[in-house]
Amino acid sequence: MSVRPLLSAVWTILLLGTPLALYGQADPVVSLEVVRMEAEPQALEVQVGSSVPLSVAAFDEDGNRVDAPMRFAFPRARVWVEDGQVHGLEVGEHQVVATLVLPPDAQVEPLAVEVPVQVLWPPVETVEVEVDPGRLFQGATLRHRATALHGDGSLRPYVSARWSSSDPEVATVNRAGDVTAHRPGEVVITAEVEGVTEGVEHRVEPFPAERLELNEAPEEVRTGDVVEFGVRGISQDGGTVDGLPVSWSFTYEAPEEFETVSGPGQVGADGRFVADHPGRFTILAQAGPVSARHVLDVQPRDVIQEFQVEGRGRVTHERTSDFWPWEGPDGRDYAITGTWNADGWAYIWDITDPANLVKTDSIQVDARTVNDVKVSPEGRYAVMTREGASDRVNGLVILDLANPAHPVIAAEHDDDLTGGVHNTWPEEDYLYALSGGEKYVIIDVSDIYNPVNVGEYNHPNSRIHDVMVVDGIAYSAEWNNGIVVVDVGHGGWGGSPENPVLITNYVTPGGNTHTVLPYYQESTGRFLVFASDEVMSRPAMALPGNFDQERFDPATGQGGRPMQTSGYVHIVDFSDLENPKKIAKYHVPEYGTHNMWIEDDVLYQAYFESGVRVVDISGELKGNLYTQGREIAVFKPFDPGGFFPNAPFTWSAMTYKGRVLFSDGNSGLWSARLVPRDPPVS
């Protein structure tokens, strides 16, 4: 256990989607009296499906206990904290963080206590063995599978049973449960998990069939056609043999067949210097007749890593839009992808295996475009936005993710959302949905089958494109009005979901603010907002943009030119929420930005035609990060069979469980990873 100021850790947890549970009704002012915190116990062990008590006490300098309000942060998919109990959800080593709640005007960081939590499996009480269809004849192999159950009937996943045979001369079994019979006789095959066993009896008989015959099947099919083969065993006298265990396999034989040129660095009126290129710099300060200088040697940043593609969910018959990954209640990983101008389709993918992204379902709604798809932090529901519906009502569609591979529609909600919903942001019980590009509506989705509007925010003389909520504060991208910051539950400015209150408005240069992403930079203690432009053209550039997005027509020779964009990322310091200040940018000339993600001081930026770009944003930031050697990796998803061939158009990028996932408008969903750098050689 450790106790330290932990505001930075709490912000990091928030951005990773971990809940903050508030306990204690005392006035936050009393928290200023606290000098130490203690947890009892200091570390926890809890079984999956069970709970153990946890109490955290706060003390003043005289050792007296103080009734101070606290927030508990925890990884919601792994543990849950409620009413003084820690509930085990997922096996592993996790952490609960209790943080003091301070008054909004406090000038100190809150104390916090970290409690390690080890979640263990409950003991196995029952083992069940399932046998593939067929009988165990001499010379045949029959697959056995073992499942293990806990006392409450819940399943132990990823079981590795120990298999044994009562008579290896009759039949043997390998570690995968494949049983091969060697001679006639009786045998018991046993599976053992954590000392619990279950056996299956077999009577091995001589193999009765003389040959096998496949049922009649077509000789030619197309890719995607399903052929169901049948087989029967034929005995020596020509009769049919039942109960033969059959294994299937195949073999395969392929047919032949710079915006501006950057200077070497810059220094501002505040004395903050940054170098764009390596070399020796002499920094000079002068005031009247006096001066001072400092010689600075600048080395290359050297942060490049290999970007390795692992798998794809290929979509080339229509254009892919947004995506969102989540972990299902079955422990597997999933993603949902939307489509642009493609008759309202969204696709569900099983992405558990990074090298094998499998489409499990598709959902069509009344829309031209499903521009945005998102999943609630706890994986309870997903949201599909609707634009261009046939009845012009639009609105959004909420999916119940109880069965993540095959979601069902829980509700279609269009109350005050008739102008087209371009984007959303789901919280646990509230959903923030853009309405007609004018405002965002706040919807109570505690019951996803009965969503109810409870509030809205419409900034004066503004159009909106994106909204994200962190710790009760909504940050929205509002084109000419830049970044709009609103209290929707933080309370420091008197706001709530039912009564949003404006905090501040920061106008970014260019008036094209499209996406916002708040991020607490732990290394500097700064709270930053990254805001990307969206410019679907290239104004005032020698290579102009175009809006021709039709597929190539060989009859006319027209079409086939993908869209060309511009724009960049503005980096604004919001450490003082009421007085933001732009400090840097990330600008790749000739291309345009779209959605982004940040994890561990690394920016994952979808940069349309310029692919996905991975950028080091650690430390103080100033100038254009693009010219400073901060790019870690760049990958452009070329696909010769894409909707537009060999035309990257990267829409969104996000990290998930050590992977880099990104969607590309012309080629679908991609899974990749950054290859760790080799340690330096001494």
Q: Tell me the pLDDT tens digit for each residue of 510-547.
A: 888 999 999 999 989 999 999 999 888 777 677 776 65
pTM over 0.75: no
Q: Between 75 and 43, where is the model more confident? A: 43
CATH class of 2-120: mainly beta
Q: Could you check whether 2-120 and 122-201 share the same CATH topology?
A: yes
Query: Which of 121-125, 135-139, 246-250, 406-410 is the most confident on average?
Result: 406-410
How does pLDDT run across 3-33, given as a tens digit for each residue? 333 333 333 333 333 444 445 556 788 888 8
Q: Which of 276-285, 568-577, 605-614 has the lowest mean pLDDT?
A: 276-285
Q: Which of 508-512, 613-617, 678-682 has the lowest mean pLDDT?
A: 678-682
What whole-number distance in Å separates Cα of residue 385 and Cα of residue 369?
8
Q: Between 331 and 78, where is the model more confident? A: 331
Q: Between 218 and 326, where is the model more confident? A: 326
Average pLDDT over residues 450-462: 93
State residue 149's pLDDT score: 94
pLDDT band at 154 (very low <50, low <70, confident <90, very high): confident
How does pLDDT run across 78-96, given as a tens digit for each residue? 898 988 999 998 899 999 9
State residue 18's pLDDT score: 41
Average pLDDT over residues 196-206: 95
Q: Between 324 and 680, where is the model more confident? A: 324
Query: What distances in angstroms separate CA 259 from CA 2, 374, 615, 621, one per listed residue?
Result: 48, 33, 18, 19
Q: Between 419 and 70, where is the model more confident? A: 70
pLDDT band at 257 (very low <50, low <70, confident <90, very high): very low
How does pLDDT run across 34-62, given as a tens digit for each residue? 999 999 999 999 998 889 999 999 999 99
State residue 392's pLDDT score: 80
Average pLDDT over residues 358-374: 96
Average pLDDT over residues 229-257: 72
State residue 266's pLDDT score: 80
Q: Give CA angle at 322 (319, 327), nearest 5°.
A: 125
State residue 681's pLDDT score: 61
Q: Between 243 and 345, where is the model more confident? A: 345
State residue 11's pLDDT score: 30
Average pLDDT over residues 577-597: 93
**DSSP line for 118-155:** EEEPPPEEEEEEEE-SS--BTT-EEEEEEEEEETTS-E
Architecture per CATH, 122-201: Sandwich (2.60)
State residue 122's pLDDT score: 93
State residue 436's pLDDT score: 86
Question: Would you kindly state where each structural domain of the chain is located, as residue ranges?
Answer: 2-120, 122-201, 272-298
pLDDT band at 590 (very low <50, low <70, confident <90, very high): confident
How does pLDDT run across 494-512, given as a tens digit for each residue? 999 999 999 999 999 888 8
What whole-number distance in Å separates Cα of residue 480 and Cα of residue 471?
25
Residue 290 predicted with pLDDT over 70 = no
State residue 528's pLDDT score: 97
State residue 107's pLDDT score: 84
Residue 223 predicted with pLDDT over 50 = no
Residue 261 predicted with pLDDT over 80 = no
Residue 339 predicted with pLDDT over 90 = yes
State residue 14's pLDDT score: 32
Q: Which residues of 294-329 are buried (b: 16+ CB within 10 A; e: fewer)?
A: eeeebeeeebeeebeeebbbbbbebbbbbbbbbbbe
Residue 561 predicted with pLDDT over 80 = no
State residue 549's pLDDT score: 64
pLDDT band at 222 (very low <50, low <70, confident <90, very high): low
Nearest to 94 by CA among 160, 43, 130, 60: 43
Q: Are 563 and 546 in contact (CB under 8 A)?
A: yes
How does pLDDT run across 206-215, given as a tens digit for each residue? 998 888 887 7
pLDDT band at 243 (very low <50, low <70, confident <90, very high): confident
Residue 38, strand partner residues:
57
R_g over Cα of the chain: 30
What whole-number distance in Å separates Cα of residue 448 and Cα of residue 382?
10
Residue 259 predicted with pLDDT over 60 = no
State residue 260's pLDDT score: 31
Query: What distances in angstroms separate CA 132 from CA 186, 227, 231, one per listed residue?
Result: 18, 22, 16
State residue 98's pLDDT score: 93
How does pLDDT run across 397-423, given as a tens digit for each residue? 999 999 999 999 999 999 999 878 999
Q: Which of 22-36, 168-182, 381-395, 652-666 has the lowest mean pLDDT?
A: 22-36
What whole-number distance in Å separates Cα of residue 459 and Cα of residue 465?
12
What whole-number distance in Å separates Cα of residue 111 and Cα of residue 6?
6
User: 83's torsion region: left (phi>0), alpha (psi -120 to 50) or beta?
Assistant: left
Average pLDDT over residues 155-177: 92
Average pLDDT over residues 216-224: 62
pLDDT band at 287 (very low <50, low <70, confident <90, very high): low
State residue 254's pLDDT score: 39
Q: Are 484 and 462 in contact (CB under 8 A)?
A: yes
How does pLDDT run across 622-672, given as a tens digit for each residue? 889 998 889 999 999 999 999 999 999 999 999 999 999 999 999 999 999
Q: Which of 44-48, 256-260, 619-623 has the lowest mean pLDDT?
A: 256-260
